[in-house]
Amino acid sequence: MAEVKIEKWVYGGAGLGRVEGQVTLVPFVLPGEEVKVEAVKSRAGLVEARAVEWTARSEDRIDPLCGYFEKCGGCHYQMAPYEFQLKQKVEIVREVFRRVGKMEAPDQIDVVAGEPWGYRNRSQFHFKGHVLGYKAAGTDKVVDVDNCPISAPAINEALKKLRALRRDKHFPRFLKEVELFTNGERTMVNVLQTEQDRGVAKGFFEWVAKEIPGAADGALEYKAAGETFRVSHKSFFQVNRFLVDAMAQKALEGAEGENALDLYAGVGLFTIPLARRFKKVTGVESDGSAARDLEFNASQASLSVEALRLQSEQYLEGCEKAPDFVLADPPRTGLGKGVVKHLARLRPENITLVSCDPATLARDVASLAEAGYKTTHLTLIDLFPQTYHVESILRLKRQ
């Protein structure tokens, strides 16, 4: 057993310290704390460890709200006050920009935050034997959960009903994973995984819908950013029910010109508001379900949007003229070399990146900086309180 002093939080949810010069990552600790640790996993120059005993605790430490904290793999920061979490996330973003992007983040990083509890409109739950809950971090063990304080009240109510239904002899025991997605009034139940990929009869969803209104719906109507969106059961939508409006507002700040391009458009959270500002808007989305929702949502709003089901790189390959404004909300993998290459070739005046991973954001921004772009604004929008996840909105201008 070794003793380590925690220097700081790093992206991924752990605290970083050093044992005989070797970087050691420890979860559920605060900067400044001193802990005795046991190694869990080692790899080149890095040790992942767990805290066994505290010899010095931080004055900032608080009691976690959730009884499952440190057991399930969902939250990482419940032992810290929310304002503390926000300040640390800003510093984490700065550190990632230095380490990955080899550049400094802007001096001013704005922070947009909301209610830190009950915010999730979408949650996934696992079945294992008689247990229904979340997976423990890094394992296949399922922690039995009857309430999740970061999930919306409608999610917890549906979870309660699902647990009761599971006691019925007619409940299919081959279910392995389900997703609950709510708009606050109706809650869709999506089966994500079954044993041996067995199909689930339509009658199951109709039966569940008697207890959980919306369980059999193929899509939900979700109101956000002053618009109404159809979100089908296979389509992505932002999970924080309190901050969707603020997110759209921040992402569209500074958007002006004749034509706009929305890459990784999803169901149109940004595309539809853009179409109210620009004469021509193109939304590009590779997922079939989301692309169909995008087209439907534009039609329902009576807006002229060119909705294309294509990979973003594939679309950009055929572009010869730069739009005035580009918004991109890529997955965790970021834009990647291909998309960055085409943006550098087209040289649009303004680019806004919406990112859920600061490391890939820093990489993409560094590449765009080499192509002549300067960061003008960076906002941290905390869509995932109590966790290490960081959402950022970054604006770039061509020099």
Whether the pLDDT of residue 44 is over 90: the answer is no
Let me know if domain 122-221 sits in CATH 2.40.50.1070: yes
Confidence of residue 301 (pLDDT cuts 50, 70, 90): very high
Mean pLDDT within 272-292: 97
Count Cβ atoms within 10 A of the Cβ of residue 67 and give its class: 0-12 exposed, 13-18 middle, 19 or more buried.
exposed
Average pLDDT of the chain to the nearest whole number: 96
Are the C-beta atoms of residues 10 and 95 closer than 8 Å to each other? Answer: yes
Confidence of residue 43 (pLDDT cuts 50, 70, 90): confident
* pLDDT tens column, 51-85: 999 999 999 999 999 999 999 989 999 999 999 99
pTM: 0.95
Q: How many CA atoms lie within 13 A of 100 on its CB side?
A: 19
User: Phi then psi for 6, rounded to 5 degrees?
Assistant: -80, 120
Are the C-beta atoms of residues 92 and 10 closer than 8 Å to each other? Answer: yes
- Same CATH topology for 1-61 and 98-115+240-398: the answer is no
Question: Could you say which of 2.40.50.100, 2.40.50.140, 2.40.430.10, 3.40.30.10 is the CATH number of the domain covering 1-61?
Answer: 2.40.50.140
Whether the pLDDT of residue 129 is over 90: the answer is no
Q: Which residue numbers are catalytic?
A: 356
Whether the pLDDT of residue 369 is over 90: the answer is yes
* pLDDT tens column, 230-261: 999 999 999 999 999 999 999 999 898 999 99
Mean pLDDT within 349-367: 98
The CA distance from 40 to 25, in Å, is 10
Q: How many CA atoms lie within 13 A of 188 on its CB side?
A: 21
CB atoms within 10 A of CB 339: 23
* pLDDT tens column, 97-114: 999 999 999 999 999 999
Whether the pLDDT of residue 268 is over 90: the answer is yes
* pLDDT tens column, 149-195: 999 999 999 999 999 999 999 999 999 999 999 999 999 999 999 99
DSSP bridge partners of 392: 355, 380
Confidence of residue 322 (pLDDT cuts 50, 70, 90): very high
Mean pLDDT within 132-142: 91
Are the C-beta atoms of residues 397 and 106 closer than 8 Å to each other? Answer: no
Percent of residues, the chain, with pLDDT higher than 70: 100
Could you write out the DSSP letters of every residue in 293-335? Answer: HHHHHHHHTT---EEE-S-HHHHHHT--S--SEEEE---TT-S
The ranges assigned to domains in the chain are 1-61, 98-115+240-398, 122-221
Give me the CATH code for the 98-115+240-398 domain, please. 3.40.50.150
